[in-house]
Structure 1
């Protein structure tokens, strides 16, 4: 039997319990016959006010992610999607590959991560020099730079917003994000990448591409794009950037 609503694909999505943005943004980009089913990682201490506290968040994620995957598997998804991004950039390219292997080993399914989705998008656009926006502390920014640098991209500028808590990431305003886009942009920057799935930037990135005339990659849009295209779903999605509209 085929699922009545997810008759094309059912995606199992893993997100922190504190994340209020990735779920509605994924729903915003939905296409007929594809459904997203969320499993939450319980974040007991959401303090991100220092590098040590930021690393503690990842420790909590690592302790709970296996159980979160097992819970969503009971819905019998066809594919896994990571609704969190910091862990997918950690320890650079090899760290991302090991993370993907971990999820595959637990679930037996292919998986979309924000880090790999951004990699694919940047290569598709032929970008070499990038500007990056994150909600992270400096240690998170360092791992993001490590990931992109190891892939051969030049990170010309990075703006870490240093959000004090995990929930506070979702409180960053469109004005603040617009200012961050402008800050990391330069004439020789080929593309701008936004990390952090709890930053709401899908709609703003779509608009920013028009006034900058270059790709602005919101991580939630890139991850959703990767998940759809990996599963042979080529529907165009409007209002979420050129990736989903044109590729």
Structure 2
């Protein structure tokens, strides 16, 4: 018997050079749901994605994109770029979520707010942090976490400037090494920020090696989506975070 497609239609706004959000969400997609993507422009693919570029993406006009994604009448719309809102701060992120809800007529979930919600769901207040971002965005990310009551006790920068495609080309082994460098005795969890980093594939391995939960951008969005829509847990969900559903 053919399974129904009735539980939820999930709209996703994704930067146009991102190559990993779509496969990550497909890995975690609950049975009976469908994924619908709208790719976002508003930045120069040839420039290093620094704070100015990511802030520009976050502030870009997405009215057309919301009209396009609303065509599938989604149950929820995910905003799949963490750094685009980290670079502006919590109040901007809240406003962006409201604009997405108004423009799409759907529940709005952003990557940045999902990170915060997921960290709080596992009751962590001290974290180790890493990402493929340039250092200035990591500074802003740490500040964003702090404004939400989360202390970063250790941080591992990538150590080089990665282009828009370079972030997505990091391997799960490299992500694993980043997570180990971000670990600290006081860290209650490891946070891996970026929707284009292949961290979902490394979550279980990192948790086994470090003995503490891992929160990633894409995993956190799926967690928040499933919790908000009351979707049942299924096989293939990575990490201890989903124990909190």
TM over 0.5: yes
- The count of aligned residue pairs is 242
Query: Quick one: which of 122, 127, 134 aligns to 2:124?
Result: 127
Find the counterpart in structure 1 of residue 90 from structure 2: 93
Shift in CA distance, 150/246, structure 1 to aligned 2, threshold 3 Å: closer
1:132 CA drift (Å):
0.9
8 Å Cα contact 2:45-2:164 kept in structure 1 = yes
For structure 2, the residue ranges without an aligned partner over 5 or more in a row are none
- Hey, what does 1:151 align to over in structure 2? 148
Whether the 8 Å CA contact 1:237–1:244 is kept in 2: the answer is no
Q: What's the counterpart of residue 111 of structure 1?
A: 108
How far did 1:138 drift? 2.2
Contact kept? 2:138, 2:157, Cα under 8 Å: yes
Residues 152-191 of structure 1 aligned to structure 2 (within 5 Å) = 152-161=149-158, 162-191=160-189
Q: Give the Å deviation of 1:16.
A: 0.7
Give the TM-score of the pair, scaled to structure 2. 0.91
Q: Runs (4+) of structure 1 moved beyond 3 Å?
A: none
Deviation at 1:174, TM superposition (A): 2.2
Query: Using the alignment, how far apart are the partners of 1:50 and 1:222 within structure 2?
Result: 22
Which residue number in structure 1 is paired with residue 40 of structure 2?
A: 41
User: Root-mean-square deviation (CA), in Å?
Assistant: 2.0
Residue 240 of structure 1, aligned match among 230, 238, 241:
238
Give the structure-1-normalised TM-score.
0.90
Q: Which runs of 5+ in 1 are unaligned?
A: none
Task: Give 1:86 deviation, angstroms.
Answer: 1.0
